[in-house]
Amino acid sequence: MEIEKGAGKIAKCLRVMLYDKPGHLAKVTAVIAEKKASVGDIRLVRMGRTHNTREIVIYVSSEEQLEDVVDSLSNLSGIIVEDVIDLVHQMHEGGKIATKSRLPIKTISDVRKIYTPGVAAVCRDIQKKPELAFKYTTIPNQVAIVTNGTAILGLGDIGAVAGMPVMEGKAALFDHLVGVSGVPILIQNYDPQVIIDTVRNIAPTFGAIKLEDIKAPECFEIEDVLDEELDIPVMHDDQHGTAVVVLAALLNATRFSGLMLKKSVIGVIGLGAAGTGISKLLMSYGVKKVIGTDLDESAKERLVSLGGESGTLDDVMKHSNIVIATTGCPGLIRPEMVRHGSVILALSNPNPEIEPELAMEHGAAFAADGKSVNNALGFPGIFRGALNVRETKINNKMKIAAAQTIARFAEENELVPSLLHPEVHQAVTAAVERAALESGVIKPWE
């Protein structure tokens, strides 16, 4: 059953009982259309002697519109709305991931091989030569997805447990797109040292660590310490996964607009995890001038320490050829601020700092919002490549290789390819492997 149709639409499923006579289903769909909702799948659930029950997926823009549709249907003769099902919540019931055996267990002989007594021989082999864990266990294909829930999507600090559905979603994408086992790790604590200590202690279980939805500035310290101490890759996806896809988007956006990326002045509005990560990767790529602004003075100081410049919102808008906004403040960029011929990526979801259409009406050469820039285009292939060649670090050369590959797979007039493009993740994996080999961050086999 389909559950999504376009940006901003809410998918609901109506379970409706109606007389089994010609015209009654048409009455239902007519009312839905009259209330300016859209119809999706229609499925027959059960048939009775005089009535039948159908589930009808509809798309509405608000709960008020849904209520209006339901009230109008309830007033129709011979039609009863039995239930309104939230398809998104239904999909999450019971969680989205599970740990399952890769091997069939049919006989006691199977049990003796995979468990006791047979497993003891493998344990002794690993004890003598720890490197064999990468041959005989799931460790090299397993990534910890670690959060404390302080910066969940656009929701902010909602706690680690409330962020679990996001972590499960990342794990599901890992499995579907590149065959990696992602394991959510929830740490209900604000103290960076607690997070560092926890991850350090569980690290032997995993081939890599993916930090997720941890707010700035704590995320910078946590990543830096773990990246230095652990001999497996550590990457904070809000910084670097986002930066990779933004770089890919800019490679195409500048092509559409006729700008040269490395010679452009880049303005970054919002210097949290995403804005800082984007700034760092763009400077590593070769951009000479990045101007950033943030309400937090320490965030601007951090950018300056990295080689960027700080300024006001007006400075950024007046002097930048390319503007990237990651503030979470809808409408922050007013139309009169738009510089003629500029490129604007207003990335806050669900509502951008300026609507792309409005930006282009007021002189932007190209504009896009966060719906076009999904970091899930980057992290699966980056981690798959890291695991395949046993990288110890994920460096800028690998991230740039990933971004260039993503950009190359965009179809004509696309900023970046679809998340479900059948080849992009495998191509990113291969590009990251090559970059790792070239930059020499491979852990040698013992």
The catalytic site residues sit at: 115, 170
Name 382's Cβ contacts closer than 8 Å, sequence gap at least 6. 235, 241, 244, 394, 398, 399, 402, 428, 432
- Our measurement of the distance from residue 429's CA atom to the centroid of its chain's CA atoms, rounded to an integer in Å, reads 17
Contact (CB, 8 A) for 245 and 377: yes
Report, in angstroms and rounded to the nearest whole number, the Rg of the chain calculated over CA atoms.
Answer: 25
User: By C-alpha distance, which of 34, 47, 42, 35 is closest to 14?
Assistant: 42
10 backbone dihedrals φ, ψ, rounded to 5°: -105, 125
> Which residue(s) pair with 340 in the sheet?
none
Q: How many angstroms separate the CA atoms of 158 and 166, rounded?
A: 12
Residue 277 CB neighbours (<10 A):
29
Q: How many CB atoms lie within 10 A of CB 51?
A: 16
Give the phi and the psi of residue 445 in degrees, each rounded to 5. Answer: -75, 135
Nearest CA among 377, 375, 383, 374 for reference residue 181: 383
Report angle CA 318, 321, 327 to the nearest 5 degrees: 70
Q: CA distances (Å), 274 to each of 219, 269, 271, 314, in order?
A: 11, 10, 7, 21
Token pair in block for residue 354: 């300026």
Pairing verdict, β 51-60 and 10-19: antiparallel
φ/ψ (deg, to 5) at 339 = -80, 135
Burial bucket for residue 201 (CB in 10 Å: 0-12, 13-18, 19+) = exposed
